[in-house]
Amino acid sequence: MRKKVSNKSFKFVSKKMKRGILFVAAILIIGSMETGYSGGVIVSEAHSGRTDSQGGHHDYKNKSGLGSYHYHHGYEAHLHPNGVCPYENGNGTSTTKSSKQSVGSSTTTTSEKKTEPTLKIEDYSLIFETVYYYNNNPDLQASIGNGGQDLLEHFVNYGMAEGRRGSSNFDVKTYRDNNKDLEAAYGDNLKEYYVHYLNIGHKENRTHN
């Protein structure tokens, strides 16, 4: 024979069930907030997991100090002011990319040839004449041509050290043979004789031709 359940017992059970349901619901809500449930995509809290399709995720506890939502997509945690990513517009810097750039820039610095100041023909007029140098160095005619700037650069970078005569007004062999004090100082470094004449020798009227 069935026992008849009193109204008091039924009400007591109903209250317990309601409390249980509310408790479970509260756990589910808190859990969804901490895992960052958004638009059907689950993302983890800031700095510890996946990002959503926009490259960002929720940070409900504001661990980043940027608010409840921020972006990463390969950079440090950041915001998109007015919907624009500062990194994609060149206004920001990231730890990852800056390190790559620094490596790339150092490689470029070491591999690139240093650009020297452009040489001026008038500065070498005492020892260099374009037409003379061209006519008296046939080996350069085909390889360099008759361009004054190219011929001057060859003369300064190579010709002087080789003792090539660059002008009808100056002969490095004569200058060396007639200035023994310079030979003691410069020895076989022929370029130094040209430089000495340019800077000092012509003012001292030293024999040079």
- Confidence category of residue 107, pLDDT binned at 50, 70, 90: very low
Q: How far is CA 98 from CA 55, 92, 111, in A?
A: 19, 10, 20
Domain boundary residue, one of 79, 95, 111: 95
- Report which secondary-structure segment, H or E, holds 37: strand 37-38
Asked if the structure places residue 107 within a domain, the reply is no
Residues 131, 83 within the same domain: no
Asked if the structure places residue 102 within a domain, the reply is no
Q: In angstroms, rounded to a whole number, what is the distance separating the alpha carbons of residues 47 and 77? A: 8
Residues 76, 139 within the same domain: no
Domain boundary residue, one of 61, 95, 129: 95
- Confidence category of residue 83, pLDDT binned at 50, 70, 90: confident
Residues 130, 84 within the same domain: no
* Sign of the dihedral through C-alpha 171, 177, 181, 187: positive
Residues 90, 12 within the same domain: yes
CB 121 within 8 A of CB 152: yes
Structural domain count of the chain: 2
Residues 88, 129 within the same domain: no
- The tens digit of pLDDT for each residue in 158-192 reads 999 999 999 999 999 999 999 999 999 999 999 99
* Sign of the dihedral through C-alpha 73, 79, 80, 85: negative
Q: In angstroms, rounded to a whole number, what is the distance separating the alpha carbons of residues 121 and 201? A: 19
Residues 77, 132 within the same domain: no
Q: For 78-116, what is the HEC assignment?
A: ECCHHHCCCCCCCCCCCHHHHHHHHHHHHHHHHHCCCCC
Q: Which range of residues forms the domain containing residue 69?
A: 7-95
Asked if the structure places residue 137 within a domain, the reply is yes
* Sign of the dihedral through C-alpha 108, 113, 116, 121: negative
- pTM over the 0.85 mark: no
Residues 84, 140 within the same domain: no
Asked if the structure places residue 104 within a domain, the reply is no
Residues 133, 172 within the same domain: yes
More confident residue, 108 or 146: 146
Beta bridge partners of 37: 42
